[in-house]
Amino acid sequence: MVWTKAKVNLALSLVIIFLGISVADLKVGFYSNTCPQAESIVKRVVSGASLSDPNLPAILLRLHFHDCFVEGCDGSILVDNGAISEKFAFGHEGVRGFEIIEAVKAEVEAACPGVVSCADIVALAARDAISLANGPAYEVPTGRRDGRVSNLSLAKDMPDVSDSIEILKDKFMQKGLHAKELVLLSAAHTIGTTACFFMTKRLYSFLPGGQPDPTINPVFLPELTTQCPQNGDVNTRIPMDRSSERVFDKQILQNIKDGFAVLQTDAGLYEDEATRRIVNSYVGLLNPLFGPSFESDFVKAMVKMGKINVKTGSNGEIRRVCSAFN
Catalytic (active-site) positions: 66
Residue 70 marked as a ligand binder: yes
Q: Is 4 helix (H, G, I), strand (E, B) or coil?
A: coil
Neighbour tally for 26: CB within 10 Å: 20
The answer to the question of whether 222 is labelled as a binding residue is no
Q: Is 142 annotated as a binding residue?
A: no
Interatomic CA distance for residues 109 and 102, integer angstroms: 10
Residues 322 and 42: beta-carbon distance below 8 Å:
no
Measured between alpha carbons, how far is 100 from 308 in angstroms, rounded to an integer? 23
Backbone phi and psi for residue 21, each to the nearest 5 degrees, phi listed first: -90, 125
Of 231, 230, 232, 251, the C-alpha closest to 241 is 251
Asked if residue 258 lies in contact with residue 284, where contact means CB atoms within 8 angstroms, the answer is no
Is 176 assigned to a binding site?
no
Give 74-135 as a DSSP string: SSGGG---STT-GGGSGGGTT---HHHHHHHHHHHHHHSTTTS-HHHHHHHHHHHHHHHTT-
Summary count for the chain: helices (H), strands (E) = 13, 4
74 is in an annotated binding site: yes
Tell whether 64 is in a known binding site: no
Confirm whether residue 159 is marked as ligand binding: yes
190 is in an annotated binding site: yes
Is 189 labelled a binding residue?
Answer: yes
| Residue 75 in marked binding region | no
| 76 known member of a binding site | yes
Q: Which residues are annotated as a binding site for heme b?
A: 189
Q: Which residues are annotated as a binding site for substrate?
A: 159
Q: Which residues are annotated as a binding site?
A: 67, 70, 72, 74, 76, 86, 159, 189-190, 241, 249
